Structure 1
Amino acid sequence: MTLKDKTIFMSGGSRGIGLAIALRAARDGANVVVAAKTDSPNPKLPGTIHSAVEEIEAAGGKGLGVVCDIRDEAQVEAAVAAAVERFGGIDICINNASAMALTGTLQTEMKRYDLMNGVNARGTFLVSKTCIPHLKQAENPHILNLSPPLDMSAKWFRNHVAYTMAKFGMSMCTLGMAEEFRKDGIAVNSLWPLTAIDTAAVRNVLGGDAMAKMSRSPEIVADAAHAILSRPSREATGQFYIDELVLMEEGVSDFSVYGPQGGGEPVADFFVPDWVFDKVSSKVSHMLG
């Protein structure tokens, strides 16, 4: 199966992992709706919804950029309506938008807490809720959340409890909606990288160029997402996928093509459960936490 002529509604997507997923789908000939806030260039961050659409169409797909704050119900409804008007329906919903602050309890301002929970947990719920009536009409409908496995280890909470709560909120949408909409044939899954990924978040929040050199490229997540979204929706739901494990199932054995650009072993991402490291083929250095 390919994603040719499938319509993807994606929150975020003007850069990083979201854009990589969009471009991989575009190479199949997919329609991609980029619903994000970045309408004009930001000197600190690459990409806008307009540059993303240009890249999507250059890759062979059709694009639509919609200015949308996913915390705003009216804006989400308008963005979904614009997608349906342009492309006739929605086949895939990707909840990619996320907010991050790796701060302890006393250092977390409530406006930052509200932002993370508003974008991550509430935004994922709202975007999914608004897309589902259209997904019910699709031939092979998928919701894919860029969120981690629900590993309730204290080490993932102790240093940034607010952020972890917000990301796990996305994953709880996966857990609940997969069962709620199983009868409708809508696959609801999460995807999370084994290692740190070279994105603006890594460069601006986690450690700059030094961390980027220990990170893989976003294309590994994009290739894993493409594999998941190409699967029959009634046969693949309620899963918390790890990118490398997905690609191993697809027959990939050489992961060096994804980096890191600095050579050597990549560093493991947050939230990867211990059992995963017994299954992967790659060696990774210490876990973030």
Structure 2
Amino acid sequence: MADHTDADDAMPAGPEHADPPFDAPDLSGSTAFVTGTTRGIGKRIALTLAEQGCNIVSTGKTAEPGGELPGTIHTTAAQCEERGVDAHAIQLDVRDAEAVEAAAREAIDEFGEVDIVINNASAIQLATVADLPANRFDLLTDVNVRGTYLVSRAFLPHLREQDGGWILTNAPPVTVDRAPGKAAYAWSKLGMSFVTLSLAEELAGDGIGCNTFWPVTAVDTRATRYFGLGTEDDWRTPHVLADAVLSVLARDPAEYTGHSAYDEDLLRAAGATDADLSAYNLTDGDPAPTSARMFVPEYTRE
């Protein structure tokens, strides 16, 4: 079974613009370095932040059109600029330590300051241990854990010099010790959280908020459709995660750090109602918490 990328899905990023169901922060003057912005969730996060005035560094592996999947880092950057901000595209393989360091320097040179780092890019392949070749295990570990480690680490000196900042990672809470049928993927995603939450302790006192965010329901992406993770009745648009990220950025990074939060909890804390959450659904109905249950089978909404 072929591997795919969470950030490299072929589904649209949702409606062109949708106001979040809370008072969104004014991000004018901020710059976000976002990994995996070519499509889906990463692209939607970039566009949503741009809609609130945030400059965007659009990064990913796809720089030229015409490949197997639609979308490029340059297209996303252009669409961010259409929203009135400055954007800069950098082709990047997050597994490459030298390339990551160079991308961080380029982003800082371009904008002078980067205060938001979002680890979104990650690979996905769902298979049993017997069915997953070793090289695919390595791919999941390298893209997800190593990539998060390298990108976060590259910005540490810069973030420490600033008066506050963020490292946010698209990964689940670490609450499980097994995941039959998807052990390698689970290991790699939980590793992303482990790195981020460890940084929260290491950077305590530096005013840098290090947190993870994860959807309760499945989100409409190419990977969701490819692996048959439910039907459209079970899915929400990528806006739900983008708005969850936006709600985090409305907080004080010195105070909100070291948390692994679900999107629904973040949005409710920001003031979203049941009706607001329903607006993210692809169809009428109440999507089951299938994404949360991917790692916590006993998960129930409070």
Normalised to the residue count of structure 1, the TM-score between the two structures is 0.90
Other-structure match for 2:187: 165
What is the aligned-residue RMSD (CA, Å)? 1.7
Query: Percent identity at matched positions?
Result: 38
- Supply the AA of the counterpart residue of 1:6: S
- Give the deviation of 1:139 after TM superposition: 2.8
Report the equivalent of 1:11: 35
CA contact (8 A) 1:187 1:233 kept: yes
Question: Which residue in the other structure is 2:219 paired with?
Answer: 197
CA drift of 1:201 comes to: 1.4
* Structure 2 residue runs without a partner (length 5+): 1-24
Does structure 1 retain, via aligned residues, the 8 Å contact 2:196–2:210? Answer: yes
Cα separation, 1, equivalents of 2:210 and 2:184? 24
The question of 1:122 aligning with 2:137 is answered no
**Which structure has the higher relative contact order (CA within 8 Å, separation 6+)?**
2
Q: Which secondary structure state, in structure 2, belongs to the residue aligned with residue 233 of structure 1?
A: coil
Please name the residue that 1:147 is paired with: 171
Looking at secondary structure, tell me which structure has more helix per residue.
1
| Cα offset, 1:13, TM superposition | 1.3
**How far off is 1:276 after superposition?**
5.6
1:46 counterpart residue number: 70
Number of residue pairs matched?
Answer: 274
Structure 1 counterpart of 2:285, from 264, 269, 281: 264
| Pairwise CA distance, 1:35 | 1.6
Distance 2:261 2:203 in 1: 19
Quote the residue 2:19 is aligned against.
none
Aligned to 1:131: 155
* Match of residue 245, structure 1, among 245, 255, 265: 265
Match of 1:219 in 2: 239
Q: Residue 174 in 1 paired to residue 196 in 2?
A: yes
Supply the distance in 2 between the matched residues of 1:231 and 1:16 (Cα, whole angstroms).
Answer: 25
Flag the 1:249–1:83 CA change in 2: closer, same or farther, 3 A. Answer: same
Q: Secondary structure at the match of 2:158?
A: helix
TM-superposed CA distance for 1:15, in Å, is 1.1
TM-score, normalised via structure 2 length: 0.86
Q: Equivalent residue of 1:237, what SS?
A: coil
Please name the residue that 1:277 is paired with: 300
Aligned mates of 1:230, 1:55 — CA distance in 2: 23
Deviation for aligned residue 1:5: 1.5
8 Å Cα contact 2:217/2:292 also seen in 1: no
1:214–1:263 Cα contact (<8 Å) kept:
no
Indicate the SS of the match to 2:161.
coil
